[in-house]
Structure 1
Amino acid sequence: MIRLTLVPQKTNIPFMKFRLMAFVLSGFLAISSLGLFGGIGLNKGIDFEGGILIEVGTEGPADLSQMRDALGGLGLGEVALQEFGAVNDVLIRVERQEGEAPAQQAAVDAVKKALEADNPGISYRRVEFVGPKVSGELVESALLAVATAVVAMLLYIWLRFEWQFSVGAVLALVHDVVLTIGFFAITRIEFNLASVAAILTIVGYSINDTVVVYDRIRENLRKYKQMPLGDLLSLSINDTLSRTVMTSVTTLLALAALFFFGGEVIRGFSAAMIWGVVIGTYSSIFIAAPLLLILGLQRSSRDDEEEAEKEEIRETL
């Protein structure tokens, strides 16, 4: 029986020799991401910015130029149009109007009237409105969700491993989140609630990869008590490399199918997830494990205490 694998079952790659290069690369990407976020910012969707979103379908190919001319003279502020998947599917964004719900509904009615004058048979797939209060609450909820997830994982890792593992895992998570934010900023993919879901999913995927590597490191700390720590970390990463790569590749195949065939609605989510899987895999190997050297991971401590307690129990019996 022929068995095909992307990575040999046993590799001997000296990962720790590349840690300085990885830290420099990650530092550059993180600073660039923060700069992009503070500079051009995110392309916030209607969930966070507030406003009116109308998706329409025309009988034939949509004439975006004609539609822009018709809507541009309505005095509704910024109006953006883009094809949304098919050539007859158009997404219209209208700036949030001053006033309460009646003002927003009046803007929607004005848009419909202008469109129907030149596009008989036009259909409305969806009409959404998010006010400033709601969008502000969504921003707070999104930030709270991400922060809660990171803190909860910090506590989990701290209880399961030594504190160095906990700090290393959380720093790797922050690294992944910051680089994902930079990805949204530079690609101008709309940042909405689906994007927050993507970030939370990336956090979960990344911590899962990191825990697998950390588990093997802890096992090898007990098994190879005389091996230099740098060599032990490289050995642990090599031990889990086949599993890490196969998991990432199969996940990427599924996400690629969603990206190319899932339609425009989930394309941004799929793109963010593809980026997140790549970055999460990279950080588990080149960031989370090497950080243990910087944080001063010690062989003795909890593991030795547990062994001593077991030995004491055996002697008592």
Structure 2
Amino acid sequence: MKLLKLVPDNTNIGFVAMRKWAFALTALLTVLALGATAYKGLNMGVDFVGGLMIEAKFPQNVETDKVRATIGSLGVGESSLQQFGDPKTVQIRLPLPEQGGAGAANAVVEKTRKAMTAQFPGVTFSRYDTVSGKVSGELIQNGVLAVVLAILGIAVFSWFRYEWQFGVSTFVAIVHDVLMTLGFFAVTQLEFDLNIVAAVLTIVGYSINDKMVIDDRIRENMRKYRKMDMKALIDLSVNETLPRTVMTSVTIMLALGALLLFGGHVLRGFTAAMMLGIVVGTYSSVYVSSSLLISLGLTPMSSEKKASKANIAAQAERVGPRDGAQP
């Protein structure tokens, strides 16, 4: 079992002492992520913008200008071409035909395929996608709604399950994780599609799981060490849960590493989002949300006050108006 210990016993890292630096770094990264998303925008996939998407694989490196010229001569509309790491793979986006429906879209795909095969012998086509503009708009709304409801639901649960400070710190940490993911995709211009929305929701779930473990330990220690300084109590709680946090993160990263190597191009964006989410989620749980509890005024007495109010309400409910009335 000793070989499995990634964190030594009796670790005593002063996380709270570094909270000002952590808050400053978090604020800076958040501003940069928002700026990148607003300035460069997200490279929305066909799922969200609608249109035709064709993924072509060439036997050798190819210049996108030649591919664009070939497609431009077909008169199928303005094309958008992108390469992601592999210079032999090109993703081609075309607008949907204004008339003709699915039959016209299939005709455009076939026309493009024949022209590309004639111009670039040996080219293969590994992926075709077609999404209408109406469907893409609905997918955007549903994707945003899913993420927002997940964040709000988790924050409200933390608010009622613990003290309000836990709900606020949870909300801040999860929003931070989501914004970091959006900023990453804005900078790298990796395709943002439904797979990435699924990755974001998974990141939210991972972050709240990690956060709940630390929050539970903080609550437990608040009842156990009622006179301990809050900074020392949070440091103690985070250090006690640190082996579990590190082991979980490393295990998931190993699985994601295998997915990145063998999952192919289709899962590259999903895997990249997940790997980033594990890193920022662990960081926000350890350095941001736990230390934020101090700034929000949480004290060991907060738990006692809430428990006292709950006991008074329970006793009043048990007594009732009839039990308390005189015969």
Give the TM-score, by structure 1 length. 0.89
Structure 1: how far apart are the matches of 2:253 and 2:137? 33
Taking the TM superposition and a 5 Å limit, the aligned residue runs for 1:136-285 are: 136-285=137-286
- CA displacement 1:270-314 (0-9 Å, x = unmatched): 111110000000000111111111211142322345678999xxx
Q: Structure 2 vs 1, CA of residues 36 and 56 (structure 1 numbering), >3 Å: closer, same or farther? A: closer
SS in 2 for 1:301: helix
Aligned pair 1:40/2:44, yes or no?
A: no
Q: Which residue is 2:6 aligned to?
A: 6
Alignment RMSD, CA only? Answer: 2.5
- CA displacement 1:178-232 (0-9 Å, x = unmatched): 1111111111111110110110000000000000000000000001011111111
Structure 2: how far apart are the matches of 1:160 and 1:17? 27
Structure 2: how far apart are the matches of 1:112 and 1:152? 47
The residue identity in structure 2 corresponding to 1:301 is K
Kept after mapping to 2: 8 A contact 1:79/1:95: no
Choose the corresponding residue for 1:302, options 291, 306, 311.
306
Kept after mapping to 1: 8 A contact 2:68/2:79: no
Q: Which residue is 1:314 aligned to?
A: none
Identity %: 46
- CA displacement 1:131-190 (0-9 Å, x = unmatched): 211111110010011011112212221232111111111111111111111111111111
Q: Which residue is 2:294 aligned to?
A: 293
- CA displacement 1:225-248 (0-9 Å, x = unmatched): 111111111111011011111111
The residue identity in structure 1 corresponding to 2:248 is T
Kept after mapping to 2: 8 A contact 1:16/1:234: yes
Structure 2: how far apart are the matches of 1:39 and 1:83? 21
The residue identity in structure 1 corresponding to 2:305 is S
Structure 2: how far apart are the matches of 1:309 and 1:109? 71
- CA displacement 1:87-132 (0-9 Å, x = unmatched): 4x55322234444625534432331231243356755433211121
Structure 1: how far apart are the matches of 2:97 and 2:289? 47
The residue identity in structure 2 corresponding to 1:303 is A
Kept after mapping to 2: 8 A contact 1:85/1:263: no
> Per-residue deviation at 1:78?
2.2
Q: Structure 2 vs 1, CA of residues 100 and 288 (structure 1 numbering), >3 Å: closer, same or farther? A: farther
SS in 2 for 1:259: helix
SS in 1 for 2:173: helix
Q: Structure 2 vs 1, CA of residues 119 and 36 (structure 1 numbering), >3 Å: closer, same or farther? A: closer
Identify unmatched segments of 5+ residues in structure 2: 316-327
Structure 1: how far apart are the matches of 2:170 and 2:230? 18
SS in 2 for 1:185: helix
Structure 1: how far apart are the matches of 2:27 and 2:285? 15
Aligned pair 1:71/2:71, yes or no?
A: yes
> Per-residue deviation at 1:64?
4.8
Structure 1: how far apart are the matches of 2:310 and 2:240? 24
Q: Which residue is 1:15 aligned to?
A: 15
SS in 1 for 2:44: coil
> Per-residue deviation at 1:85?
6.0
Kept after mapping to 2: 8 A contact 1:64/1:82: no
> Per-residue deviation at 1:252?
0.8
Give the TM-score, by structure 2 length. 0.86
Query: Between Structure 1 and Structure 2, how many residues are aligned?
Result: 309
Kept after mapping to 1: 8 A contact 2:210/2:245: yes
Structure 2: how far apart are the matches of 1:23 and 1:121? 53
Kept after mapping to 1: 8 A contact 2:80/2:93: yes
> Per-residue deviation at 1:5?
1.7
